[in-house]
Structure 1
């Protein structure tokens, strides 16, 4: 949702409330989602430019994600901006204290030169919730399309996360149907070996248009991956972007080659990033030290907002090796 006019603030609130209800959030949580969206959109409208909100069912746990991204002047004093009653007509920050209390978890970064990035997760309190690890994911359909031919899924088993990123062949309902079928196939198999999962996806997509697919699994000392098709897997750290592992040409569901696995660096300050062709790979040329240190939810939002190809569906998924080292997560008050 682009925030390009003050009327977009109320539209954002209404859309957030509607999505919260569609996600099954009970009681007053849809109203809380509306407040969060309204506050984020209002700050963008008053103080920033080229801003937008992104709303989706939660990538982690049960609930809803709200991302706010802009290219404004940034918040001068982020800590002071969380103080109740703090506001100014010259800087961003109004309502941040309320947002931190309303959201189950709230993450924000802000600075001159790159604007403000915020992520709020609203969890369903009726269900057991894991603390969100340092992971983030966002999928967005091409401009003007209602259905997305990309998708992602995350499953945790013990201390290990396994993630799937999909880029359906073609576009529209056919591609969307293929990737949704792949996600349904993946979830019950997420603790199996990556080649076994990829082979199961290939069988499931044989009577569809097919897809490019990437599987990534985190371990204590490494991240394992398996890629078929044009999906990028990168390792980021404050030292820069590691050389990209090579995927295998092919289409899952149509004569897929035998799947192979590889590994990427996995240190305390590492982030493994996976993205489809809808994110322009040339973002690497402009990657700043700030972006290489972003926590995963804000990294994926920044890439989708600033570097997506508007005519293509786009997905980004990121894993951080250490929540403490890479992700500032603020729990809501009881």
Structure 2
């Protein structure tokens, strides 16, 4: 039996819901930024404290052959506002329709309630895309496999960011820290009870500028890319092993070393460097920029008994928000 694919069909059938709901959460890259797109490993951390909820329903407007999407965004930093749906979300809804075999035109209302600060390297675009996928699946009463959800989120991510590595698309739906490499992910072995503190510098990240800066540096010097990827891979592999062995100090040292790698490449800022220094001075085992760079957030590792002191120091150094994320023992969150 075919599910209804229009508002009129909904009124005549109970096979689909009048409103579909989907949820996702933020992420932070622990190590592996930039190098991951060249096949190097990356370690990624779900941030379940920061969530996005998508609601999908039928619009009162008329649909056309392209499938109209009306978008309203809400969140802690803005009043509810109606905007034209992004190219990525329009492409995502079209791909969802094609994947699910929905042939009639769709006219949808999407509401995104997002607590994830945009432009901070926390995966807000991927989280919004995943929440929309799950909301559409709920609306139409369809099951979406993890593989299909990933592919659909990547559709939106590739429109938004160009060549997306897939780290964000996976981690915004993950329950535990992940090791990601060459398009595949597995759960990280965690041998310690330390806490990652994510601190928002208040500066918008400039991922595209950072990518172009790094690419230009690679083109200027023969072998520069290979050297960067080799150093990044070694630090990430050493950090992964230290984390599995419960060697917190060794793990933290790799975080700080990776920050130095990115800072030397020109991807940090004075404010980010000040936050890293503040965390280390307050007893953090390691700290670094997280995400694309040239702004965004810092991630600092601390033993549980030092979390308050490190957080206080980050705040005093200018962090506008902080979130504490245990490496293991996450509360149940977005599915």
| Structure 1 and Structure 2 fold alike (TM over 0.5) | no
Instruction: Please tell me whether Structure 1 or Structure 2 has the larger radius of gyration of its CA atoms.
Output: 2
Q: Relative CO higher for 1 or 2, CA cutoff 8 Å, sep ≥ 6? A: 2
Structure ranking higher in helix proportion = 2
TM-score, normalised with respect to structure 2: 0.28
Q: Normalized against structure 1, the TM-score is what?
A: 0.28
